[in-house]
Amino acid sequence: MKVDLPLRIEIPTTPGEFKTGLMFRENLDTNSGMLFVFDRVAQQSFHMSHTTIPLDIAFIDEEGCIESRKSKNFYKFMENHYLRGLIVG
């Protein structure tokens, strides 16, 4: 199934932006989020400390397909090996 969703996505470009992610944000526009692109396929982790808004995360493989998704208010999550993580509000 293919679904076209208009998303406004930020991509962190510095180590500081990558580390901070969406922490300390008080709100996030509808259909907005942040795409984390890693250097290689590996087990990555996301820590959602200092994040007060509800977020979903999708784990994306090398082909650009969503492998799995976790919903709402996860705190720390590690998933199988993947290349990208997309977090949306």
Q: What does residue 16 show for φ and ψ, rounded to 5 degrees?
A: -65, -45
Q: Give the pLDDT mean for 24-28.
A: 89
The domain of 36 spans 8-88
Q: In this structure, is residue 62 part of a structural domain?
A: yes
- For the chain, what is the mean pLDDT? 81
Encode pLDDT of 56-84 as tens digits. 888 888 888 888 887 765 555 556 667 77
Q: Residue 38 pLDDT more than 70?
A: yes
Cite the DSSP H helix spans in the chain. 15-20
Q: In this structure, is residue 55 part of a structural domain?
A: yes
| Full-model pTM | 0.79
Q: What is the CATH number of the domain that holds 14?
A: 2.60.120.1140
Residue 32 CB contacts under 8 Å (≥ 6 apart), including other chains: 7, 8, 9, 10, 88, 89
Number of domains in the chain: 1
Q: In this structure, is residue 42 part of a structural domain?
A: yes
Q: In this structure, is residue 3 part of a structural domain?
A: no
